[in-house]
Amino acid sequence: MKTPPRFLFLTINEVCNLRCQHCLYWKSKRRPSITVQRQLQIVEEFAELSPGGKVVICGGEPMLDEEAYFGVCATSRRLGLRTLSVVNGTRVRSSADAYRMVTEGPDEVSVSLDHPRAEMHDKIRGTRGSHAWAVRSLDLLLRARKTENRPRIYVMGLLCRSTYPLLDEFYHLVLASIGADKLKLNAVQPTFLITRGEGGQEPESDDFFARESQVDPDELRWLLSWCDAKYRLQLNPTWVDHVTSYFRSLWRVPEETLRLGWMCGIDTSAHICDSCDRNVMVDLDGRASLCFSRAFRSQQLSRPGDLKKFWKGADDVRKEMGTCNRICGISHSVRCSSATQKGER
Distance CA 29, CA 27 (A): 7
Confidence of residue 264 (pLDDT cuts 50, 70, 90): very high
Instruction: Give the CATH fold of the 7-330 domain.
Output: TIM Barrel (3.20.20)
The share of the chain scoring above pLDDT 90, in percent, equals: 88
31-49: per-residue pLDDT in tens?
889 999 999 999 999 999 9
Q: Residues 6 or more apart from 331 whose CB is under 8 A from it?
A: 186, 187, 189, 273, 292
∠ at Cα 191 (187, 197), nearest 5°? 150
Confidence of residue 6 (pLDDT cuts 50, 70, 90): very high
136-161: per-residue pLDDT in tens?
999 999 999 998 888 999 999 999 99
According to DSSP, residue 192 is labeled: B
98-113: per-residue pLDDT in tens?
999 999 999 999 999 9
Q: Residue 182: enclosing H or E segment and its boundaries?
A: strand 182-187
Distance CA 55, CA 106 (A): 9
> Are the C-beta atoms of residues 112 and 73 closer than 8 Å to each other?
no
Average confidence (pLDDT) over 163-184: 98
Average confidence (pLDDT) over 45-68: 97
The domain segmentation of the chain, as residue ranges, is 7-330
Distance CA 231, CA 220 (A): 16
pLDDT of residue 195: 59
pLDDT of residue 30: 82
Q: Closest Cα partner for 175 from 155, 194, 199, 160? A: 155
192-240: per-residue pLDDT in tens?
876 555 555 566 899 999 999 999 999 999 999 999 999 999 999 999 9
pLDDT of residue 142: 97
User: For the ranges 183-187, 190-194, 249-253, 256-260, which has the lowest average pLDDT?
Assistant: 190-194
> Are the C-beta atoms of residues 55 and 46 closer than 8 Å to each other?
yes
Residues forming beta bridges with residue 23, ordered by sequence position: 192
Query: Looking at the predicted structure, is the pLDDT value of residue 263 above 80?
Result: yes
Distance CA 188, CA 331 (A): 8
